[in-house]
């Protein structure tokens, strides 16, 4: 684990591997993030990236408008830095 992910409005954080998606790292750490296809199609894992950078390679599960607004898909984004995310409830 080389990067850290903080979850805004929660006191939790978990480690991120440069080789795994944010979703995979979260699940390995016991954090329950919403997901469906785990392949960049359905959009269920969408969350807001508050700070930091990721490399996202999706398959159409997120709109250009959402990306512009700062959203990412956790299942197909790998961290490039420490990040902070905000979950939709
Ligand atoms: S779980 Fe379907 S797009 Fe991420």
| pLDDT tens per residue, range 26-39 | 999 999 999 999 99
The share of the chain scoring above pLDDT 70, in percent, equals: 99
The answer to whether 36 touches 44, Cβ cutoff 8 Å, is yes
For residue 41 and ligand 1, the question of a CB distance below 6 A is answered with yes
For residue 11, CA distances in Å to 8, 55, 60, 82, 83 come to: 8, 25, 32, 16, 14
Give the confidence band of 89 by pLDDT, cuts at 50, 70, 90. Answer: low
Residue 45 Cα: closest atom of ligand 1: 4
The predicted structure's pLDDT at residue 88: 77
Asked whether the predicted pLDDT for residue 21 surpasses 80, the reply is yes
Output the CA 11–ligand 1 centroid distance in Å: 25
pLDDT (average), residues 64-78: 97
pLDDT (average), residues 50-69: 96
pTM value is: 0.94
- 60-64: long-range contacts (C-beta < 8 A, 24 or more apart)? 61/37
For residue 6 and ligand 1, the question of a CB distance below 6 A is answered with no
Tokens of 63: 């709109």
3-86: what CATH class? alpha beta
d(CA 52, CA 61): 21
């Amino acid at each position: 684990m080389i990067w850290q992910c903080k979850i805004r409005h929660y006191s939790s954080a978990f480690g991120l591997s440069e080789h795994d998606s944010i979703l995979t790292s979260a699940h390995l750490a016991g954090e329950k993030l919403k997901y469906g296809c785990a392949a960049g199609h359905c959009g269920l894992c969408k969350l807001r990236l508050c700070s930091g950078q990721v490399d996202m390679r999706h398959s159409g599960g997120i709109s250009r408008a959402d990306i512009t607004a700062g959203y990412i898909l956790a299942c197909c984004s790998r961290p490039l830095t420490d990040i902070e995310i905000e979950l939709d409830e």
